Amino acid sequence: MRSLLKGAVAALGTALLVSACGGAGVTPTPATTAEASAPASAPATAAPTPTPEPVKLTYFTFSAAPDHLKDLEAIVQAFQQKHPNVTIEVQTASYDQYFTKLQTAIAGGTAPDTFELNYENFVSYSSAGSLLDLTPLASGDAEFKPDIYYPRAYGVFQADGKQYGLPESFSDVLLFYNKDLFDAKGVAYPTADWTWKDELAAAQKLTDKTKGVWGDFQPIQFWEFYKVLAQSGGQFFNADKTRATFNDAKGVEAASWLVDKVGKVMPTDAQMGGQDDTALFKAGKLAMWHNGIWQFAGLKDASFAWDVQLEPGNVTKAHHFFANAVVASAQTAHPQEAWQWLRFLTSSPEAVKVRLDSSWELPAVADQSQFSSYLSQTPPANRKAVFDALANIVVPPVIEQQSQMTDIIGKALDKAKLGQATVKAALDDAAKQVDALLK
């Protein structure tokens, strides 16, 4: 009853905010019906060898729709064959709407049994107590070995010494380049030890504004900023995370690197005319492009030759490490089954194979021999750069008010880009706002 009431209040609050903005179109997640309210199937009278009762688990995901629904379905089928008493009900939402729906479901007491979280949100949800502590389940499972996972990916999903998530997949960002454009201008291809200077020099030679060809494209946003900051040797926060430090000389150098290219070797928003960078690269209008390995599948049929290289560094190298975890809700009535599903989804040979064959995000498993089928696919020829990048990784700076901080940084970079403020003034202002979020 209480959860019903809480649910009603949450739904009402949400409804008002939605009605206030004239149909912003947020529908609450379809309730997981009986799951939350029904009494947990009590195994109190269990015989020594009980026939397992049928269990329905919900799994909520953003990474499957729309391109990989069939791949997920294949993993679900394989799991259900091994665990005939368990049915997995998949619910999907686009990344844009995913966290709104998830929050509403949790607030309403109808959280999905298992769901997906990216690293930034994992921090917030684990500290809120929304997640099931997997540590006892892991130690109670004789077949489970944590070293099956890529160690860094397993470690980031711990909080206060407890394991709250299993690493599902990872991805990173590389320098994509159009070989045809390099050949046409006689410019040497990027190498693994390029620095910003080499990139800029090549970009200047490759830019041909009369043909609408630009030498470089690097998104101007939070995720690029913390990375180029790391490449400049800067720190986003001070050591005890009480103050933002990204507005020092290194931060100014990093932000300037992003915004100074605009209009010179990189198109302005107006020059892009509403097309995004993906469309421009695919149209052969960008010689170099900073983007993620999730673009491989979409570039398979490109009409030009392309390859990838490690991103150039400044005083040091730094590469993104984006990881997704799968977690179980603290409210789930079936922790044991949820654990089995999470384990299967992240590390079973079946799931690993499906992910690699479909060029989905990469499974975060340690055994690199499993990746041979992935590595042998071309293009890109230099696919091993995906793994070389893991030698110097940087994870996103995370605070509780993550999306607000992301917006603050994005807005500051926009202001500097548009010339509304100097880089230093824009970063100073952003640092002040981020400091306020840390209190």
Partner 1 sequence: MVGERGWRKAATATLFLAPSLVPLALFTLGPMVASFGLSFLRWDLIRPARPVGLANYSGVLADPDFHAAVLHTAFFIAGYLPLVYVGGLVIALGLNQRLRGLAVFRSIYFLPVVTSWVVVALVWKWLLNPDDGIVNYLLSLVGIQGPGWWTDPAWAMPSIILASAWKDLGFVMVILLAGLQAIPEDYYEAAAVDGAGRWARFRSITLPLLSPASFFVLVISLINSFQVFDQIWVMTNGGPAGASSVVVEQIVKHAFSYGQMGYAAAMSWILFAAILGVTLVQFRLQQRWVTYG
DSSP state of 288: E
Reduced to 3 states (helix: H, G, I; strand: E, B; else coil), residue 214 is: strand
Identified binder of partner 1 from the candidate list 401, 424, 425, 438, rule CB under 8 A: 401
Nearer to partner 1, 55 or 430 (CB): 430
Query: Least distance to partner 1 from the beta carbon of 18, Å?
Result: 9
Interaction of residue 110 with partner 1, rule CB under 8 A: no
Quick one: 37 or 100, whose CB is closer to partner 1? 100
Is 103 a binder of partner 1 (CB under 8 A)?
A: yes
Q: Which of 56, 83, 264, 411 binds partner 1 (CB under 8 A)?
A: 411
Mention every residue, 6+ apart, whose C-beta is less than 8 A from residue 382.
Answer: 307, 308, 309
Residue 83 or 411: the one with the smaller Cβ distance to partner 1 is 411
Helix (H, G, I), strand (E, B) or coil at 184: helix
Q: Determine the distance from the C-alpha atom of residue 256 to the mean position of all C-alpha atoms in its chain, rounded to a whole number.
A: 25
> Would you say 307 and 172 are in contact if contact means Cβ atoms under 8 Å apart?
no
Residue 20 makes contact with partner 1 by CB under 8 A: yes
Residue nearer to partner 1 on the CB measure, 17 or 249: 17
- Sign of the torsion angle spanned by Cα atoms 414, 398, 362, 383: positive
Residue span 71-100 as binding mask against partner 1, x where in contact by CB under 8 A, dash where not: -----------------------------x
Binding of partner 1 at residue 124 (CB under 8 A)? yes
Residues 265-304 that bind partner 1 (CB under 8 A): 268-274
Q: Which is nearer to partner 1, 224 or 311 (CB)?
A: 224
Contact 280, 267 (CB under 8 A): yes
| One of 9, 249, 279, 381 touching partner 1 (CB under 8 A) | 9
Position 414 contacts partner 1 (CB under 8 A): yes
Q: Confirm or reject binding of residue 5 to partner 1 (CB under 8 A).
A: no
Please state the closest distance from residue 15 (CB atom) to partner 1, in A. 5
| Residue count, binding to partner 1 (CB under 8 A) | 42
Pick the stretch among 18-26, 159-167, 254-262, 358-366 that binds partner 1 (CB under 8 A).
Answer: 18-26
User: 301 and 379 in contact (C-beta within 8 Å)?
Assistant: no
Contact between 420 and partner 1 (CB under 8 A)?
yes
**Whole-number Cα distances in Å, 239 to 29, 161, 193, 236, 396:** 39, 20, 29, 9, 15
**Contact region with partner 1 (CB under 8 A), list: 103-111, 160-168, 276-284, 384-392:** 103-111
By CB under 8 A, the residues from 361 to 400 that bind partner 1 are none
Of 36, 64, 72, 106, the one binding partner 1 by CB under 8 A: 106
H helical segments located in 207-327: 222-231, 249-259, 269-272, 277-282
Instruction: State in angstroms the smallest separation of the CB of 397 from partner 1.
Output: 17
Q: What is the DSSP string of 341-408?
A: HHHHHHH-HHHHHHHHHTT-SEE-BS-GGGGHHHHT--SSTTTTHHHHGGGSEEPPP--TTHHHHHHH
> Using the rule CB under 8 A, which residue among 19, 41, 94, 373 binds partner 1?
19
CA distance 75 to 56: 16
**288-292 and 173-178 strand pairing:** antiparallel
Least CB distance to partner 1 at residue 62 (A): 15
Range list of H helices, 49-162: 69-82, 95-107, 119-127, 135-139, 151-155
Q: Does 128 bind partner 1 (CB under 8 A)?
A: yes
The residue within the footprint of partner 1, chosen from 32, 58, 104, 118 (CB under 8 A), is: 104
Name which of 330 and 366 has its Cβ closer to partner 1.
330
Report if residue 17 touches partner 1, rule: CB under 8 A.
yes
How far is CA 370 from each of CA 19, 337, 357, 366, rounded to the nearest angstrom?
50, 26, 11, 9
* Footprint on residues 232-271 left by partner 1 (CB under 8 A): 268-271
Residue 169, both tokens = 């997949």
- Which CA distances in Å does 222 have to 91, 122, 145, 260, 409? 29, 18, 36, 16, 6
Do 204 and 276 form a contact (C-beta atoms < 8 A)? Answer: no
Q: Rounded to an integer, what distance in angstroms lies between the CA atom of residue 43 and that of residue 59?
A: 23
Tell me which residues touch partner 1 (CB under 8 A): 9-10, 12-17, 19-24, 26, 100, 103-104, 106-107, 124-125, 128-130, 268-274, 401, 403-404, 407, 411, 414-415, 417-418, 420
